[in-house]
Chains A and B, each alone.
Chain A
Amino acid sequence: SQKIEQNSEALNIQEGKTATLTCNYTNYSPAYLQWYRQDPGRGPVFLLLIRENEKEKRKERLKVTFDTTLKQSLFHITASQPADSATYLCAHPRGTTNFGNEKLTFGTGTRLTIIP
């Protein structure tokens, strides 16, 4: 069955450093991956989407890579700040992909803490 794994439950990073989170998937080749941020007791917030034919995508201090050979996506936050502390989730579509309304499978998330 399709599996998506975020192999760090928690990650502590010093303020100003780059935080790198990992998302691995098995038994599947998703057409894209998405990354979300979730704060305690709140709904996830969409951050970035990267398609299988894109190696890298950037948005401000965020960078996502997608390696279809390794079946892995990396999520980087550069110049990290305490306000970046949250749980970060990766997600991929289940079933057929037509970029329209397919359901997502989420990883269990990595809880990131930026230490001042």
Chain B
Amino acid sequence: DSGVTQTPKHLITATGQRVTLRCSPRSGDLSVYWYQQSLDQGLQFLIQYYNGEERAKGNILERFSAQQFPDLHSELNLSSLELGDSALYFCASSVSGLGYTFGSGTRLTVV
């Protein structure tokens, strides 16, 4: 157990639907990062939150959004899902940036 908790582990949904992925960072870590990993793209940075505020954005689609709550857990919302959104979604946290701790990921399958 890395200390970063992601739920659910697996998600199967239809095209056009909306899903929410949840992440609880390691205790004491203020930063949360979301990454998408597909077979042909590798790990792609989506978005970063630090202590409740958006800190940086990567290649995140407009259909995707995220937020970090006062208790520091974060949610990634994916809407109008397409087949190409099928991927592993990872959350990571860090306290100093010197080494991320990743969760075990959510495997999203869009059918």
Q: Which residues of A contact B (CB under 8 A)?
A: 34, 36, 41-46, 49, 89, 93-95, 99-109
Q: Is the CB of A44 within 8 A of B33?
A: no
Q: Give which listed residue, B58, B96, B99, contacts A100 with CB less than 8 A.
A: B96
Q: Is the CB of B43 within 8 A of A106?
A: yes
Q: Is the CB of B42 within 8 A of A108?
A: yes
Minimal beta-carbon separation of B19 from chain A (angstroms): 19
| Docked pose: A30 CA to B71 CA in angstroms | 32
Q: Give which listed residue, B30, B42, B45, B55, contacts A104 with CB less than 8 A.
A: B45
The stretch that binds A, out of B62-70, B75-83, B100-108, is B100-108
With A101-B50, A103-B58, A104-B100 known to touch, is A43 a contact of B105 (CB < 8 Å)? yes
Greatest chain B CB density within 10 A among A34, A44, A107 is at A44
30 contacts between A and B (CB under 8 A): A34-B99, A36-B100, A41-B88, A42-B105, A43-B90, A43-B92, A43-B103, A43-B104, A44-B43, A44-B90, A44-B100, A45-B102, A46-B99, A49-B99, A89-B43, A99-B97, A100-B97, A101-B48, A101-B94, A101-B96, A101-B97, A102-B56, A103-B33, A103-B45, A103-B55, A104-B33, A104-B100, A106-B35, A106-B42, A107-B42
Q: Is the CB of A101 within 8 A of B104?
A: no
Count of chain A to chain B residue pairs whose CB atoms are closer than 8 Å in the complex: 61
Taking residues whose C-beta sits less than 8 angstroms from the other chain, chain B's interface range is: 20 to 34
The answer to whether the Cβ of B98 comes within 8 Å of any Cβ in the partner chain is: yes
The answer to whether the Cβ of B74 comes within 8 Å of any Cβ in the partner chain is: no
| Docked pose: A70 CA to B90 CA in angstroms | 32
| Docked pose: A41 CA to B102 CA in angstroms | 12
Q: Is the CB of A43 within 8 A of B2?
A: yes
| Docked pose: A106 CA to B43 CA in angstroms | 6
| Docked pose: A96 CA to B51 CA in angstroms | 19
With A41-B107, A43-B90 known to touch, is A101 a contact of B100 (CB < 8 Å)? no
Chain B residues lying within 8 Å of A95, measured Cβ to Cβ, are 56
Q: Give which listed residue, B42, B55, B58, B103, contacts A109 with CB less than 8 A.
A: B42
Chain B residues lying within 8 Å of A89, measured Cβ to Cβ, are 43
18 other A-B residue contacts (CB within 8 Å) besides A44-B100, A101-B48, A109-B42: A41-B105, A43-B90, A43-B102, A43-B105, A44-B43, A46-B101, A99-B97, A100-B96, A100-B97, A101-B30, A101-B50, A101-B55, A101-B94, A103-B33, A103-B48, A105-B45, A106-B35, A107-B42
